[in-house]
A and B are shown apart, each in its own frame.
Chain A
Amino acid sequence: MSTPTTLTPRQRIIARAALEIQSDTYVNLGIGLPTLLADVATDRANVLLQSENGLLGIGPYPTEDALDADLINAGKETVTAVPGASFFDSAESFAMIRGGHIDLAILGGMEVSQTGDLANWTIPGKMIKGMGGAMDLVQGAKRTIVIMEHVTRAGEPRIKRECDLPLTGKGVVDRLVTDLAVFDIDRDGLVLVEALGGTPIDEIRAKTGAPFEVTRAALGSAVA
């Protein structure tokens, strides 16, 4: 698929990641970048969004007069609940997650390794936020997709042979969507399945800190 190059990197990630949300599924979107997928997801047929603080069936943001401090998502934003939604406590919420009942988790990332390790919760000595529900989600969701910008602000690769940052989970990422590329990750490592916006394969290689295979389809999607 070709994505207009006029989009910002984050917009490009969101546009591509939106295609990953299938009809008739239960989906958990992580806080930050993945939350931007909420509108797309709720427009898709029979997708119920799970919020780990205790809501299955997140709706759109409320109108001003419907603001409710008792109804928030995992990012602490005020939300609404769709018809068919349910509320539950945090243990029930993570029973759903850990027990393999969530079809898809889409999470943000800071680093991903060639074997699907994910780091996204702390930078030692600099930033401490905590893992929230991410460590449970990556172990429990049937499929985990990470979305992140391909390189850091300093231009360094975020995709590495091994993560340098403390891990959220080991071998847990099934698919990685960046502003430049889509990778699948399996036992044998990284496989480039799509070059976004016609990005040349050489550019992707130069910005990726680990080797990867290239599928025929990916070759077709890249500028030679």
Chain B
Amino acid sequence: MPTSRDPASAKTVEGPAAAVADVPAGASIAVGGFGLSGNPETAIQALRDLGVGDLTVVSNNCGVDDFGLGILLANRQVRKMVSSYVGENKIFEQQFLSGELEVELVPQGTLAERLRAGGAGIPAFYTPAGVGTPIADGKETREIDGREYLLEHGITTDFAIVRAWKGDTAGNLVYRKTARNFNPLVATAGRITIAEVEELVPVGELDPDHVHTPGIYVQRIFRSPGLEKRIERRTVREVAA
């Protein structure tokens, strides 16, 4: 049974607006999700409503024009994006090609590892991804056992925003299927990590063996007021007759 002293209840916040209320202009924010899957949808909408600008956003993709992180671009709140793939977003392309938006393209595995490393206290690591390409420009390289590697730096951010399937009031998180993607890594990289969950349960309900993100990484948690869970590419097969 839970004791009357619940050390973690201080983490629960009422909703997305309260969760992001102190994000200042110029903040760096890591955001979980792959495409529109596993996006902290309502937290992103709350950031849009908050209106703070000059943001640096670290996220594998940048949503689509009218959903996900795309709405922050459309509202001109983003100064710099750090991503691996942005091919789904016309506003992104326009703002980048016109020089309005600064972009750091990072190979996907390198981006994942940079977030993991940042959250794990590893300042930098060597990887073969990007050797001999424009990504290597200006980076330290080193030959190890006859093969060339690039030095890539860990990423930490002021805030991190993730979405999980279930969370408890201690901040423990469980993700569902491929909606996990970057979320566990992003959760470790933020100095303040905000979790939007589909289901918020009392401490003790999650099996500790099934927790993907231990609550130590999560400072604020709220039950999502409602997810659209938009599907980016709806592909189906016919049922065999």
Contacts and interface: CB of A to CB of B under 8 A. Distances in A.
Interface of A: 51-55, 60-64, 67-72, 75-79, 81, 87-91, 93-94, 97-98, 117, 125, 127-136, 139-140, 166-171
A170 B85 contact: no
B178 A87 contact: yes
Contacts of B230: 69
B131 A60 contact: no
A169 B184 contact: no
18 contacts: A53-B178, A53-B181, A63-B237, A69-B229, A72-B231, A76-B233, A77-B235, A89-B175, A91-B112, A97-B109, A128-B86, A128-B103, A128-B105, A130-B84, A131-B85, A132-B85, A136-B129, A167-B134
Nearest to B228: A69
A136 B114 CA distance: 13
A98 B132 CA distance: 16
Contact of B107 (A51, A75, A76, A135): A135
Given A72-B37, A130-B86, A89 B182 contact: yes
Contacts of A89: 112, 175, 180-185, 212
B139 interface: no
A108 to B, nearest CB: 13
Contact of B180 (A81, A88, A94): A88
Closest 9 CB pairs of A and B: A94-B109, A170-B132, A129-B87, A136-B109, A90-B112, A69-B229, A135-B107, A76-B35, A139-B128
Given A78-B236, A129-B86, A133-B108, A94 B113 contact: yes
B133 A166 contact: yes
Contacts of B87: 128-130
Looking at chain B's contact residues, the main secondary structure is: loop
A94 B60 CA distance: 13
A71 to B, nearest CB: 5
B66 interface: no
B233 A133 contact: no
Contacts of A136: 107-110, 127, 129
Nearest to A90: B112
A72 B178 contact: yes
Contact of A90 (B105, B182, B212): B182
A13 B130 CA distance: 27
B128 A98 contact: yes
A89 B183 CA distance: 8
Contacts of A75: 233
Given A53-B178, A87-B178, A169-B132, A67 B234 contact: yes
Given A94-B113, A168-B133, A78 B233 contact: yes
A61 B233 CA distance: 11
B84 A132 contact: yes
Contacts of A77: 233, 235
A139 B110 CA distance: 12
Contacts of A129: 85-87
A158 to B, nearest CB: 18
A133 B36 contact: no
Interface string B49-70: 0000000000010000000000
Interface string B160-194: 00000100000000011111111111000000000
B177 A64 contact: no
Given A53-B178, A98-B127, A129-B86, 12 more contacts: A53-B34, A53-B37, A55-B177, A67-B231, A67-B236, A72-B35, A89-B180, A89-B185, A127-B93, A132-B107, A136-B109, A169-B131
